Amino acid sequence: MTETASKHSDKPKLISLFSGCGGLDLGFEKAGFEKVWANDFDADAQAVYSLNLGDIDGRDIRTVDEKEIPQGDILTAGFPCQPFSSAGSRKGVYDSRGMLYKECLRIIQDKMPKVIVFENVRGLLSTKYIDGRNLADVIVEDLSAMNEVGYNVVHKLLNASDYGVPQNRQRVFFVGVRKDLGVNFIFPPKQKKEHLTLRHILDIPNTVKNQVDWGLSPQALEMIKYIPEGGSWKDVPYEKLAPRFQRIRDNMKKYRSPNFYRRFSRDEINGTITASAQPENCGIIHPTENRRYTIREVARIQSFPDDFLFIDDSPKNIVAMYKVIGNAVPVSLAQSVALAIMEQVFQKNRF
């Protein structure tokens, strides 16, 4: 065996469930982990993942026999967040996707990796399980008692901008370390928020690929020309609003003062980028130009490196690319968590 191969084989092995387009996996790869198996059912996410990170199993996880999955040292899972998201219906575990969490448990029970990482939206923390318990408590209890060995589990709501991501995006992470390893995981400390404003990330060389945007509707274009840098739909003259927006403006209290069409300033950190990429749902409008952010600009806001490629820029693929980027775990956030796990579990304990 060559020295290179030996070093390669020494890396902790990663099993990745609900991998998406690879934001979480890329962060873990940068931290020194080696992916041995990844899975995602979404064809668009698969296309991007395979283009950048290699093989990915595209089957519905419910049809995959756990014995087919190789052994691993760490298992990560960003199981579908829509059931728990404030942008969705919030059906939680009553949504069939919400119970895909059980598929994670099935595989964990067979593999018993040293470490488990779950990532999800903050809405999970306020979601009730079908028996009335908090879902977060159920996850901790399930993992704590797994196979009579169990895991020491901690969870924390993290803001991506505290970990080098130019985006205020809150996500909850669960990290479980197998109890026999004697490690109580501590989340990494917050980092200084340097160079995270839009001014520092929108200066993209012309040679970088995927600098295309999804055109806005005529109604949206008419509205955003009245929105100044750092403003929102509240800056649009009443008479220029569509009837639907006028009704909301007439009764802001009823509609909880929504902040549609947010155009972040170049001196602000951007808000959460969503999979829908709609101006009503996230700050997707360029600070000074009357358009959506390009695919590459959104990727930078999610901390994907410029050499991470998205599938061709044909119109049929552009909307899909906004979706997979918006659903991704920011790379720098994933890397920060991964480095903490590497240091606390795998470097201090030479397994």
Handedness of CA 142, 56, 71, 347 (dihedral sign): negative
* 150: Cα separation from own chain's centroid: 27
Q: At what angle do helices 331-341 and 23-30 cross, to 10 degrees?
A: 40
User: Catalytic pick from 21, 81, 104, 282?
Assistant: 81
Distances (CA, A) of 348 to 183, 340, 344: 10, 11, 6
- 282 part of the active site: no
Q: At what angle do helices 101-111 and 135-144 cross, to 10 degrees?
A: 10
Let me know: does 245 contact 260? Beta carbons within 8 Å. Answer: yes
What are the residues whose beta carbons fall under 8 Å from the beta carbon of 346, sequence distance 6 or more?
12, 73, 114
Q: What is the DSSP letter of 344?
A: I
Sign of the alpha-carbon dihedral angle for 22, 25, 31, 37 = negative
Active site residues per annotation: 81
